[in-house]
Amino acid sequence: MKTLMLTPCESDIKKAAAILKEGGLVAMPTETVYGLAGNAFDANSSAAIYAAKGRPSDNPLIVHICDAGTVDTIAKAVPDNAARLFDAFWPGPLTVILPKRDIIPYATSGGLDTVGIRFPANKTAQALIRECGFPLAAPSANLSGHPSPTTAQHVKNDLDGRIAAIIDGGICAVGVESTVVSVDEEGHVTLLRPGFVSLEELRDTVGSENVSMARGVVEHIGDGERVLSPGMKYRHYAPDAHVVIVEGSREEYVSFVNARRDENICAMCFGDEQGIKVNCVPYGITPAEQAHSLFDVLRSLDDISADTVYVRCPEKDGLGLAVYNRLLRAAGFETVRC
């Protein structure tokens, strides 16, 4: 299959919508990462998404809408706290998991009775969903296991020839995938995947007593243990090299990597360190910079061919928690303390 490269102009959005109406797949930009979109109501489109990505079929797809008013047509019940979250963060990088209606096929929900719903802020994504007239199921547009794509070129590298089209909307603003929460019947909110919408903001919106963080966000869950979100159990984002997270002060980190200068290593540092004497790749000083460049840097590590990459540990709150969560998966949870 030849993969068409499209732009966000009106005529290309129409072309992309025509492909989606026929059951084809289109990669679209969003504010988080690029999504691989198909008709969320069509089991065959969802099956094609899993096949194109090589994604395990029990890992559910997020359903993207372009109007908060359509949630009721997809979800059976919307607790007040879910509505509060929509008001506070939609359109934006927050996915809310609710009980699904029958219109969402099990092929889209990964066999679950719930569905993750998101109203993206990206104007191109909104225009595409509107033009289609149905919601779009869209996981990240990468091959399963690879870092998520934050440019059209990343998508092309992974999926060229496997999907009908890619809309090039430039570099994604946020750079890490959406915050995922579930909301139960009593309105309790559980954070399953941290993102740009932080744990602290969720607490401020619905009250801290109504928010908890799932096991697995920052802890390793053993094989065979039950997870609340299937995506938690898969190794992810991993470059070819062995990745290790290094905790400690800036000075301790510099001494740690310099002590290993005779080995074939790379320091994935912030960029504000002085005196690093090994090959280094900075991924940003502030959590926003780190989120923005994380996946591009992880992809670029494959060109460096270091045996081990020592990553300076990011902050663990706010947006830093999202960066830390992705790095833990890239490192297979391997962390050392200086």
Size of the chain, expressed as the number of residues it contains: 338
Among 177, 196, 198, 296, binds ligand AMP (CB under 6 A): 177
Residue pair 37/139 in contact by the 8 Å Cβ criterion:
no
Stretch that binds Mg ion, among 116-124, 140-148, 150-158, 166-174 (CB under 5 A): 140-148
Distance of closest approach, residue 192 Cβ to ligand AMP, in angstroms: 6
What radius of gyration do the chain's Cα atoms show?
A: 20
Q: Which residue is nearest to ligand AMP (CB)?
A: 231
| DSSP H or E stretch at residue 86 | helix 80-89
Does 108 interact with ligand AMP (rule: CB under 6 A)?
Answer: no
The conformational region for residue 332 under phi > 0 = left, psi -120 to 50 = alpha, else beta, is left
CA distance 314 to 143: 26
Nearer to ligand AMP, 192 or 313 (CB): 192
Tokens standing for 181?
């929460």
Does 193 interact with ligand AMP (rule: CB under 6 A)?
Answer: yes
Among 112, 143, 171, 213, binds ligand AMP (CB under 6 A): 112
Does 211 interact with ligand AMP (rule: CB under 6 A)?
Answer: no
| DSSP H or E stretch at residue 312 | strand 308-312
Q: Taking the alpha carbons of 247, 251, 256, 262 in that order, is the dihedral positive or negative?
A: positive
Does 149 interact with ligand AMP (rule: CB under 6 A)?
Answer: no
Q: In DSSP terms, which residues pair with 154 in a beta bridge?
A: none
Nearest to 62 by CA among 82, 46, 83, 81: 46
Stretch that binds ligand AMP, among 158-166, 229-237, 260-268, 286-294 (CB under 6 A): 229-237
Distance of closest approach, residue 55 Cβ to Mg ion, in angstroms: 8
Choosing among Mg ion, ligand AMP, none, which partner's interface includes residue 320 (Cβ < 5 to 8 Å by kind)? none
Choosing among ligand AMP, Mg ion, none, which partner's interface includes residue 282 (Cβ < 5 to 8 Å by kind)? none
Among 30, 39, 45, 59, binds ligand AMP (CB under 6 A): 59
Residue pair 89/197 in contact by the 8 Å Cβ criterion:
yes
Stretch that binds ligand AMP, among 74-82, 198-206, 225-233, 319-327 (CB under 6 A): 225-233
- Residues within the interface to Mg ion (CB under 5 A): 140
